[in-house]
Amino acid sequence: MIFDDSVRRWTESTERAPVEPVGGRSTTLGSMLYDEAARERWVDEPPKRIAAPERTPFERDRARLVHAAASRRLAAKTQVVGPQSDDFVRNRLTHSLEVAQIARDLARTLGCEPDLVETAALAHDLGHPPFGHNGERVLADAAAGVGGFEGNAQTLRLLTRLEAKTFGYDGRSAGLNLTRATLDACTKYPWPLDEATVPTGVHADGSPRVVRKFGVYDDDRPVFDWLRSGAPARRRCFEAQVMDLADDIAYSVHDVEDGIVAGRIDLTRLDVAAVRAAVRDWYLPDTDEDALDGALARLRSIGSWPSASYDGSRRALAALKNLTSDVIGRFAEEARSATFAAHPGTRVRYEADLVVPDDSRTEMAMLKGIAAHYVMQADDRVLAMAGQRELLAELVEVLASTGSEHLDTAFAHDWAEAPDDAARLRVVVDQVASLTDASAVAWHARLTRPGEPPGPGVRTL
């Protein structure tokens, strides 16, 4: 994992230092900008008394997320190449940590609360099922008649229901019971399925965008309506925009880095026409050739852009890390400068919008296009993804047909309390979505082919 020195350097001059405790509570200048409503929790909790000064509500949110079981499972979920393929390449957990580091530094320089934004970044992939967006397609089909499935809506469900920490007066789980502002920052698509638009293009992992993007299932509407109280319809809060940019920066840069280490990408020998075509097909269909070529030229002008092929040596690895750091710092600084110019006042919640220059977005798309052409479209990856979809569909089918017999205890209880078949199918989807890549393969083998090893078609890359 890379903690980018260049990002740290450009934050040092504007970092918001802690201020003196107020009423026994440590705080920061950024956290003081959030009102009581932003700090409110779905279920009231008595204040905790500890020896050290009490943490802010946003520091407490971050701690709850870090200790959540769903966070640990990200270590065994697909990013671009599978978790078992190499010790160096990223999984969902290492990706989330890197997104969190970028997001925290961006928040610090922009003036919003770093702990809040970091928590949203750490949570942004929690709802991803086994095999990422590829698995999301399968669960969306399986749940089509019961409200659908979407990774971001599943994240909200985890945070407010499935990841048990607090229970309400009605006896139902309130999940981690995070603050309103933190949950809002985790909400990338603040609308239900019936308001979602038809998707186009592809995801960062190469799978086509066939699942409509939305942020809440119908039976999670009460907490969604509470966290969105007073928010403009369909508008993401500033902190969610920062989290989303950090995610975009991280995977545009790190997917290329992983592809280089895996021997699939050589930045000194790019097929520019093929990369350009991938960008148009997947990300920016209306961008002209000159704009794409200009973006690549700007990237190649970065001093750390390689002049020799990667050979796996320590010197080559150090150079690659420096390139990654420089590119991330470049994107972050450009967004910071543009946002400051557009919004010189307070930048929290709904008082401002993040501004990302068009040139930065085109450069990020070029990096994604490089990964798309050399990694996502590889024949072995396409074959593996087809096997993954078949495996997950079969797993949903067998679990739905066997009742609570094979479900984990918590989900077996949900099954027993479900009022109808639709609710029981949602329990099965929740169970399958909670699995890691490896456990999904193991469950499938155990339930469909007892005593047989998993077939080669279901491996991850």
> Do 361 and 330 meet the contact criterion of CB atoms below 8 Å apart?
no
Select from 454, 442, 453, 434 the least CA-distant residue to 69.
434
Residue that has been written with the tokens 């700090």 in this structure = 39
| Local confidence band at 24 (pLDDT 50, 70, 90 cut-offs) | very low
Give the other-Cβ count within 10 Å of 456's Cβ. 9
Q: According to the model, what pLDDT value does residue 28 have?
A: 58
Record the tokens describing residue 19, joined without a space. 């201020």
Query: Which residue is listed with tokens 């479209």?
Result: 377
pLDDT tens digit string along 212-224? Answer: 999 999 999 999 9
The pair of structure tokens assigned to 338 is 């543009």
Q: Return d(Cα 445, Cα 452) in angstroms, integer.
A: 7
- Tell me the three-class secondary structure of the chain, residue by residue: CCCCHHHHHHHHCCCCCEEEEECCEEEECCHHHCCHHHHCECCCCCCCCCCCCECCHHHHHHHHHHCCHHHHHHHHCCCCCCCCCCCCCCCHHHHHHHHHHHHHHHHHHHCCCHHHHHHHHHHCCCCCCCCHHHHHHHHHHHCHHHCCCCHHHHHHHHHHHHCCCCECCCCCECCCCCEHHHHHHCCCCCCEHHHCCCCCCECCCCCECCCCCCCECHHHHHHHHHHCCCCCCCCCCHHHHHHHHHHHHHHHHHHHHHHHHCCCCCCCCCCHHHHHHHHHHHCCCCCCHHHHHHHHHHHHCCCCCCCCCCCCCHHHHHHHHHHHHHHHHHHHHHHHHHHHHHCCCCCCCCCCCCCCCHHHHHHHHHHHHHHHHHHHCCHHHHHHHHHHHHHHHHHHHHHHHCCCCCCCHHHHHHHHHCCCHHHHHHHHHHHHHHCCHHHHHHHHHHHHCCCCCCCHHHCCC
- Put simply, whether the predicted model's pTM sits higher than 0.75 gets the answer yes
Higher pLDDT, 114 or 458: 114
- 150/214 Cα distance (integer angstroms): 7
Band of the pLDDT at 174, cuts 50, 70, 90?
very high
Q: Does the pLDDT at position 20 exceed 50?
A: no
pLDDT category of residue 29 using cuts at 50, 70 and 90:
low
Percent of the chain's residues with pLDDT above 70: 84
**Alpha-carbon gap, residue 259 to 80, rounded angstroms:** 9
What pLDDT score was predicted for residue 55? 86
Alpha carbons 328 and 263: distance in angstroms, whole number = 22
Nearest-angstrom CA–CA distance, 213 and 219: 17
**Cα angle 224, 249, 34; round to 5:** 40
What is the rounded CA–CA span in Å between residue 253 and residue 238? 23
Of the pLDDT bands very low, low, confident and very high (cuts 50, 70, 90), residue 76 is confident
| Cα–Cα dist 266/257, whole Å | 10
Domains located in the chain, CATH noted: 1-259+379-461 (1.10.3210.10), 260-378 (no CATH)
Residues 72, 78, 81: CA angle, nearest 5 degrees: 130
Q: Is the pLDDT of residue 225 over 60?
A: yes
pLDDT tens digits, residue range 117-160?
A: 999 999 999 999 999 888 999 999 999 999 999 999 999 999 99
